[in-house]
Amino acid sequence: MEEVRAVLDSLILPVADWQVMGAFDYQREYDAGVPPNIAAMKANRQWWHDWNKSPNQECQRSKDCWLPRGHQGQGQSMAEGLV
């Protein structure tokens, strides 16, 4: 297991940081009546948004954009396209 942890730590983001980013409040989404597919898309965008911020690769065009720095086309806000 130590070898696995070492390999994962050698990636851009150490394992300890990965675990912190995983916090998404699915219960809140469920209680609000958000359909599961929309909740999953919101969780995915939140994860990517947090991931990009950690190695300072977040979008510089918009504070709420979940895409990485230097992406092509227009930025996408965390809520864009989610009903």
Cβ–Cβ under 8 Å, residues 67 and 75: yes
Looking at residue 49, its pLDDT comes to: 85
Residue 5's pLDDT band, with cuts at 50, 70 and 90, is low
- 12 has a pLDDT exceeding 70: no
DSSP for 24-61, please give it: --HHHHHHTT--HHHHHHHHHHHHHHHHHHTTT-B-SS
What confidence tens digit (pLDDT) does each residue in 37-66 have?
888 888 888 888 888 887 788 888 888 899
Q: Which residue has the higher pLDDT, 70 or 6?
A: 70
Length of the chain: 83
Instruction: Report the DSSP beta bridge partners of residue 58.
Output: 68
Assigned token pair, 20: 């912190």
Cβ–Cβ under 8 Å, residues 60 and 71: no
Residue 70, SS3? coil
What confidence tens digit (pLDDT) does each residue in 65-79 have?
998 898 998 888 888
Domain ranges of the chain: 1-83
